[in-house]
């Protein structure tokens, strides 16, 4: 059994007891020198305990260390989140090279995102790029951060612990980028960031306690399924464009 398989079993809580290898009944034992025999009173099984679960306090302490965005991104790439074992890739944030003050926080990585390691890829990504282009923007000046950096198995809804272990990284990115406007794409990101229902606050301007404005919007996947909602999104995007131009 390889080291990775042993590690997986260990993480799953399986305890391995390593003791003297039993011999087959009736088999002849090779002669050994008396002075090489171990003291039987000291021959105790070696027990490898399961890895301790990652706590929120541990994550908060980790996130407090990086002083620059590159260090934080490396930490995200190496972080052993519980979802990492089932994900194909870590879905890294898109950090704008020439930021214009706009940050998008989107819902969970899709299957396309999981395969590419790129947030908002596939059809949703194409629509996102068209939406940004329509107001003179692109991923070069707009940062995009997923609420979770690992796809859940089968795309299921994440549980509370899975979200909580990811949010310190999201909040640290917001703190480092210091955006003027934050768009929340989708129901989950809107709920986590604004504590509101997306249908109640879509397109509204919500001023956060940190001073930036939050504008909740439908996720591009929703617009693919319901094209009639594109008008509401277009109105919200035009308003965001005006907000960014204002000093």
> What pLDDT sits at residue 53?
77
Give pLDDT, residue 226.
Answer: 95
Q: What are phi and psi of 39, to 5 degrees?
A: -70, 115
DSSP line for 157-190: PP-HHHHHTTHHHHHHHHHHH--SEEEEESHHHH
Q: What is the dihedral of CA 147, 51, 155, 73, to 10 degrees?
A: 30
Rounded to whole angstroms, the Cα distance separating 211 from 214 reads 10
Alpha-carbon radius of gyration of the chain: 25
- Is 3.40.470.10 the CATH classification of the domain at 56-245? yes
Report pLDDT for 148: 97
* pTM score: 0.78
Nearest residue to 164 (alpha-carbon basis) of 12, 7, 53, 67: 53
Contacts of 87 (CB under 8 A, 6+ apart): 109, 114, 150, 151
For the chain, what are the domain ranges? 56-245
A 10 A CB-CB count for 214 gives 22
pLDDT at 46: 53
Q: How confident is the model at residue 245 (pLDDT cuts 50, 70, 90)?
A: confident
CA-CA distance, 95 to 78, in Å (whole number)?
Answer: 18
Query: 16 pLDDT band (50/70/90 cuts)?
Result: very low
Predicted local confidence at residue 54, as pLDDT:
85
């Amino acid at each position: 059994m390889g080291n990775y398989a042993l590690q997986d079993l260990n993480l799953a809580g399986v305890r391995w007891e390593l003791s003297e290898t039993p011999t087959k009944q009736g088999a002849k034992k090779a002669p050994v020198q008396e002075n090489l025999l171990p003291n039987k009173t000291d021959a105790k099984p070696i027990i490898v305990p399961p890895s301790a679960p990652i706590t929120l306090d541990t994550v908060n302490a980790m996130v407090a260390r990086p002083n620059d965005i590159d260090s934080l991104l490396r930490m995200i790439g190496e972080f052993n989140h519980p979802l990492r074992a089932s994900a194909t890739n870590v879905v890294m944030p898109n950090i704008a090279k020439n930021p214009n003050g706009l940050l998008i926080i989107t819902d969970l990585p899709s299957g396309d995102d999981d395969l590419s390691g790129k947030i908002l890829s596939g059809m949703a990504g194409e629509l996102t790029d068209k939406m940004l282009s329509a107001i003179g923007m692109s991923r070069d000046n707009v940062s995009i951060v997923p609420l979770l950096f690992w796809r859940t198995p089968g795309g299921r809804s994440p549980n509370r612990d899975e979200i909580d272990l990811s949010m310190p990284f999201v909040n640290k990115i917001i703190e480092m980028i210091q955006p003027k406007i934050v768009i929340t794409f989708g129901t989950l990101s809107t709920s986590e960031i604004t504590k509101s229902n997306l249908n109640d606050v879509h397109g509204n301007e919500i001023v956060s306690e940190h001073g930036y404005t939050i504008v909740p919007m439908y996720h591009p996947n929703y617009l693919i399924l319901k094209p009639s909602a594109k008008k509401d999104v277009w109105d919200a995007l035009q308003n965001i464009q005006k907000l960014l131009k204002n000093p």
